[in-house]
Amino acid sequence: MAGSEAAWQAANMGVQVVLHEMRPQVKTFAHRTGNFGEMVCSNSFRSDDHEQNAVGLLHWEMMQAGSLIMTTAHQHRLPAGGALAVDRDPFARSVTDALTSHDNIQISFEEIDTLPDEGNWIFATGPLTSENLGKAIQAETGADRLAFFDAIAPIVYAESIDMNVAWLQSRYDKGETEEEQKAYINCPMNKAQYEAFIDALLAADKTEFHEGETATYFDGCLPIEVMAERGRETLRHGPMKPVGLTNPHNPEEKAYAVVQLRRDNSLGTLYNIVGFQTKMKYGAQTAVFKMIPGLQDASFARLGGIHRNTFLNSPTLLDAQMRLRSKPNIRFAGQVTGVEGYVESAAMGLLAGRMAAAEILGKPLETVPQDTAHGALVHHITGGAEAKTFQPMNVNFGLFRPLENSGIKGGRRGRKDRYKAYTDRAKADWTAWLEGQA
């Protein structure tokens, strides 16, 4: 996805591109063909609603920028309500034809296993980056900066947490500043609530690992349901331990267990549930997590998961132009940068392709406006996200800066107007940014 889009964008700006692809000689466990743009699982690019949905807005922005992936997706659209689902094989063949017949693109079927010192490179090798290249990246960045599995805890919109039940406090009030002492949101449970929660966790539908993925979990990122299977008290002595916390709504009663949420972005609009990586199915997750007091009306920016997924700690490694800080002739794009999904990956390819071509042409691009869907994502992965707990991210409105003086109601009641205002603001900024490059 990202490599195809990057090559297309750069080639259309007049730059000569060599597109390297290791398939079909070197295979991955998920791809079936040697085509570009192969969708490895679902055939959906998700919502196409560009007024009320952040991924739909990303579609819109990509279309304005002449995206190969998005234009081809619309050509091979299948009926799917508001979603952009496609006929996957004709879609991938069309993407492949467009790239192979482009005058400025040369294709080279080979595995790249080093980070070259010379030339302008974009590495868009995805969640299944080859092992040899993974080693070369680790040698450059440090082993702890490239992960091979994600361990995603659910992320909740801060505004949907009931602060009449939950409260702000770090364990033992640790921290120098008030902000640090109140860095976590805490949700208390009594014994009956905890027992019901454990029962629900144990009974919930779980997903299996895909063929070729190993089900070996790393220490420190066990799914919560696996922890619960090891003993009903395990969670209460692990991520849900109630120590060092006092509930200001009910100071006399000691909570039996506490679920903690930690800030996930510098804007403070998103919080992740600490230690709650999970393989529960999405429907089950929503039902189970809404049992947590304070999260009964929670809206989730993303649900949890654990997958085979190679990704960089981009906030520490990449600059705002998606270049590797230690080797600026190299850019990364796509899922390997810590975005998640076909659309987000292709969008990051679109940016990287344009940025690389503009640099080669001696006209470096202006910073991508932060209030666009592309800008919100690239800002998140290259600096806005918490580096220590960085995990892959979908595009969502929680990544967008709040509107200034809009007069729009907060919470659920103002949601429709707020999303429309976000998408209007994004469209104006994206259009101006593209016009600046014309």
Ligand X SMILES: Cc1cc2nc3c(=O)[nH]c(=O)nc-3n(C[C@H](O)[C@H](O)[C@H](O)COP(=O)(O)OP(=O)(O)OC[C@H]3O[C@@H](n4cnc5c(N)ncnc54)[C@H](O)[C@@H]3O)c2cc1C
Residue 359 lies near ligand X (rule: CB under 6 A): no
318 binds ligand X (CB under 6 A): no
What radius of gyration do the chain's Cα atoms show? 22
Alpha-carbon gap, residue 187 to 292, rounded angstroms: 7
Total interface residues for ligand X by CB under 6 A: 32
- Positions 159 through 178 that interact with ligand X (CB under 6 A): none
Tell me whether residue 207 or residue 246 sits nearer to ligand X (CB atom): 207
Nearer to ligand X, 160 or 310 (CB): 310
> In 251-319, where do the E strands start and end?
257-263, 270-273, 300-302, 305-312
- C-beta closer to ligand X: residue 86 or 261: 86
Distance of closest approach, residue 222 Cβ to ligand X, in angstroms: 21
Of 95-103, 127-135, 161-169, 291-299, the segment contacting ligand X by CB under 6 A is: 127-135
Alpha-carbon distance 383 to 32, whole Å? 35
- Is there a contact between 61 and 377 (Cβ–Cβ < 8 Å)? no
What is the rounded CA–CA span in Å between residue 181 and residue 45? Answer: 41
Residues 48-87 close enough to bind ligand X by CB under 6 A: none
> Quick check: 394 binds ligand X (CB under 6 A)?
no
Residue listed under structure tokens 């003086």: 405
Nearer to ligand X by Cβ, of 37 and 242: the residue is 37
How are strands ordered across the β-sheet holding 121-123? 121-123, 327-332, 323-324
Interface with ligand X in residues 95-124 (CB under 6 A): 111-113, 124
The minimum distance between CB 395 and ligand X, in angstroms, equals 11
Q: Provide, rounded to whole angstroms, the least separation between the CB of residue 230 and ligand X.
A: 27
- C-alpha torsion sign, points 213, 219, 223, 229: positive
State the nearest-atom distance from the C-beta of 202 to ligand X, in Å. Answer: 26
Position 126 contacts ligand X (CB under 6 A):
yes
Q: Which alpha helices (H) appear in 113-236, and where do they start and end?
A: 131-141, 178-181, 191-203, 224-229
**Which region, judged by CB under 6 A, interacts with ligand X, from 18-26, 179-187, 258-266, 271-279?**
18-26
DSSP 436: T
Taking residues 324 to 343 in sequence order and writing x for each that binds ligand X by CB under 6 A, - otherwise, the string is ----------xxx----xx-
Quick check: 129 binds ligand X (CB under 6 A)?
A: yes
Go through the chain and tell me how many residues it has.
Answer: 438
CB distance 379 to 385 below 8 Å: no
Closest separation in Å from C-beta 158 to ligand X: 25
Under rule CB under 6 A, residue 41 binds ligand X: yes
Q: Does 351 help bind ligand X (rule: CB under 6 A)?
A: no
Contact map string, positions 364 to 393, toward ligand X, x by CB under 6 A: ------------------------------
H-state helical runs in 149-281: 178-181, 191-203, 224-229
Determine the Cα–Cα distance for residues 324 and 88; give it in Å rounded to an integer. Answer: 33
CA neighbor of 223 nearest in space, from 183, 184, 276, 266: 276
Nearer to ligand X (CB atom), residue 28 or residue 67: 28
Within 115-262, residue ranges assigned H as helices are: 131-141, 178-181, 191-203, 224-229
Residue 291 CA: distances (Å) to CA of 158, 184, 228, 273: 17, 19, 16, 13
List the interface residues with ligand X, window 187-216 (CB under 6 A).
Answer: 210
Minimum Å gap between C-beta 28 and ligand X is: 6
Q: What share of the chain is helix, strand, coil (3-state, %, to 5)?
A: 35, 20, 45
Q: Is 2 in the site for ligand X (CB under 6 A)?
A: yes
Among 53, 96, 160, 345, binds ligand X (CB under 6 A): 345
Residues that bind ligand X (CB under 6 A): 1-3, 20-23, 28, 30-31, 40-42, 111-113, 124-130, 133, 210, 308, 334-336, 341-342, 345
